[in-house]
């Protein structure tokens, strides 16, 4: 028996910077997962993934990631995606630096 579909977001890495990005409902790539389109229909998720994958001049490695609705927008349900929302971990820059300055 196939598993029931769970909500997803389309995610990838920005081609030039390498940052994790998420596809928004208005077809932008955002570095803030909370702005991503939360997709609750499997056919729509497959279509949005194909649309994202076609944008090879902007991103690399698009895939569907499990997510859930949160008070401010989609939230990760897996530690890997939670980790990606904080940016690169090899040294403080980008999202990591921003996150550290708020602590």
For the chain, give the mean pLDDT: 89
Asked if residue 1 belongs to a domain, the reply is no
Q: How many angstroms separate the CA atoms of 88 and 98, rounded?
A: 12
The answer to the question of residue 73 being in a domain is: yes
Mean pLDDT of 3-19: 94
Taking 90 as the threshold, does the pLDDT of residue 11 lie above it? yes
Domain extent for 38: 8-102
Please check whether residue 98 lies inside any domain of the structure.
yes
The residue behind tokens 């998720």 is 45
Asked if the structure places residue 3 within a domain, the reply is: no
Cα dihedral: 30, 10, 85, 5 (round 10): 140
pLDDT value of position 50: 98
Helix (H, G, I), strand (E, B) or coil at 33: helix
For the whole model, what pTM was predicted? 0.82
Inside any domain, residue 2: no
The predicted-structure confidence for 46-78, as pLDDT tens digits, reads as follows: 999 999 999 999 999 999 999 999 999 999 999
- Residue 95 located in a structural domain: yes
The number of domains in the chain is 1
Let me know if residue 19 belongs to a domain: yes
- Predicted local confidence at residue 91, as pLDDT: 53
For residue 92, list its beta bridge partners: none
Q: Is residue 51 part of a domain?
A: yes
């Amino acid at each position: 028996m196939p598993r029931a579909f769970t909500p997803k977001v389309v995610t990838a890495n920005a081609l030039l910077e390498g940052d994790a990005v998420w596809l928004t409902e208005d077809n932008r790539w955002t570095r803030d997962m909370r702005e991503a389109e939360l997709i609750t229909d499997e056919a729509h998720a497959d279509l949005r993934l194909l649309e994202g994958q076609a944008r090879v001049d902007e991103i690399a490695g698009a895939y569907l990631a499990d997510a859930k609705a949160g008070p401010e927008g989609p939230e990760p349900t897996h530690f890997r995606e939670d980790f990606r929302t904080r940016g690169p971990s090899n040294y403080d820059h980008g999202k990591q630096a921003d996150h550290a300055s708020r602590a």
